[in-house]
Amino acid sequence: MRFVIDHGRRQIRHVNVTAHPTSSWTIQQLREAFPDENSLRFLIHDNDAIFSQRLTEAIGHLGIESKRTAYRSPWQNGTAERWIGTVRRELLDHVIVIDERHLRRLLRDYVDYYNEDRVHTCLRDSPHGRPTEIRPSEDARVVGLPRVGGLHHRYLWSEAA
């Protein structure tokens, strides 16, 4: 699995999976993650063999500086490591993945939920772009809208009929 996460808002910008990742495949994922982005300064990544000299040059051509974490030091990119743990606990521990295509669909659904609905408590607000909802009346009740195949929900106020 390869993913790109914006450290500021912890928003997932891109995710994809393949059984056999290569440098060329990873370069294509970066192109898809940053189609015309020029405000990004750094790409923090681990020491996977895929991050070859060719890939580092491709990152540079995107106008982004490549920053490697130290060998066997996952804590140096804690935001990404926390997201991996969250995906495992909130998604992969609860489903049986059939194949690569199924995993890709599950991850896309989960990323939509994560970016649009999941509250990041440490950020002390609702997800970016979603207003905090106030109870409209005493008769209003909370309704859960299923997300990620019913594994998670988005909760809204609804007036009782």
Mean pLDDT of the chain: 85
Query: Strand 11-16 vs strand 2-6: parallel, antiparallel, or unpaired?
Result: antiparallel
In this prediction the pTM is: 0.81
**Nearest one of 81, 72, 75 to 48, comparing CA atoms:** 72
CATH class of residue range 2-130 = alpha beta
* Domain boundaries defined on the chain: 2-130
87, 107 Cβ separation under 8 angstroms: yes
pLDDT band at 45 (very low <50, low <70, confident <90, very high): confident
29, 51 Cβ separation under 8 angstroms: no
29, 50 Cβ separation under 8 angstroms: no
Q: 20: which residues sit within 8 A by CB, 6+ positions away?
A: none
How far, CA to CA in Å, does 18 sit from each of 61, 94, 108, 143? 24, 21, 14, 37
Q: How confident is the model over 57-116, as pLDDT tens digits?
A: 888 888 888 888 888 787 788 888 999 999 999 999 999 999 999 999 999 999 999 988
Q: How confident is the model over 118-144, as pLDDT tens digits?
A: 876 654 556 666 677 788 888 899 999
Distance (Å, whole) CA 160 – CA 112: 28
Q: How confident is the model over 10-20, as pLDDT tens digits?
A: 889 899 999 99
